[in-house]
Amino acid sequence: MSALTIYCNADFDGAAMARLREGLQGHRLVLPEGGAVGVLGVGAADPRADEADIVFGQPVAEQVMASARVRWVQLTSAGYTRYDRDDLRRAFVARGAALTKSSLVYDDPCALQLLAFMCAEARQLAAALDSQRGGRGWPHLELRAESRLLREEKVVLVGFGSIARRLCELLAPLHMQVSALRRRPVGDEPVPTHAIDDPRAAVALAEAEHVVDILPDSPATRGYFDAARLRGLRRGAVFYNIGRGTTVDETALRAALASGALAAAYLDVTAVEPLPPDSPLWTTPRCYITPHTGGGHRDESQRLVQHFLDNFRRFVSGGPLLDRVV
């Protein structure tokens, strides 16, 4: 194959960029005229991207859709909401182009974040730390009485992709009863799985002690956990969200926590990010928030580059691409 031009607008550290250059020896790397963008950022239209055979990062959807030259786009994110559009799919399919994402970079850290949330709630870590940072009491009997084991408790994963699959592996040694809901079950899921609109979905949600939201943002998922669906959850259940904040009615979530219908909520994502300092979520009882750090890890940039290079070798050799969307 002749030399390819790769346009990358990802905001990588020096070591990751050096790894990318090394891995692309013999091919041309083009960087943006403006600034690079992070995983959750939105890139700007750039004429340099029109020179590329391959785009890596967060490009403008309309630009790569209109390009006659771009043959493959790899996103640096697990989510692809901006690119989840029929016109882009049609354009890519018509010219034989591919779109891939980076879920395989983020499945492990996000699953670990969820496991940490679940263990923190079971062992009452937040309450113990509040005591340390506050009055420095010694709520020995209270916290022991509230602590619990996770064995045999029911978990429902709402949304089933790479993160959910990895979480299933992490939960297996805990002997929890795990099931999942997804848009279209395919039959290879390692746990009982129903379609998200199946009547059995409501039953699973009503019985679960742990409800894990891993839904992406889309017109179909926005507000999925509305007031009615939150009321349908088991009283005393714990709600976790590492998908997208737009999938939850946050006013209804606060009401469920205030009334005691939900025991706790652990949120890595919110509808508005950064979450404004005056948001009532910050002071809602038993609502624990991390600032969209679930996918973060020290070697994130280098793993993104390695994932791209693994796919690049497949692209050059004509092999199947990992994390393919289109």
**Locate tokens 């970079």: which residue?**
105
CB 29 within 8 Å of CB 54: no
**Token pair 């899921």 in the structure block, residue:** 189
- In whole angstroms, give the CA distance from residue 127 to residue 134: 10
Report DSSP state, residue 300: H
CA torsion sign, 203 to 204 to 210 to 215?
A: negative
Which domains are assigned to the chain?
5-101+298-317 (3.40.50.720), 106-289 (3.40.50.720)
> Could you report the per-residue pLDDT of 161-191, keeping only the tens digit for each?
999 999 999 999 999 999 999 999 999 999 9
Instruction: Read off the pLDDT of residues 212-238 as tens digits, 9 standing for 90 and up.
Output: 999 999 999 999 999 999 999 999 999
Task: Report d(CA 261, CA 236) in Å as an integer.
Answer: 6
Side-by-side strand order, sheet with 287-289: 193-195, 177-182, 154-158, 210-213, 237-241, 262-267, 287-289
How many other β-carbons are positioned within 10 Å of the β-carbon of residue 147?
A: 14
Say yes or no to pLDDT of 30 above 70.
Answer: yes
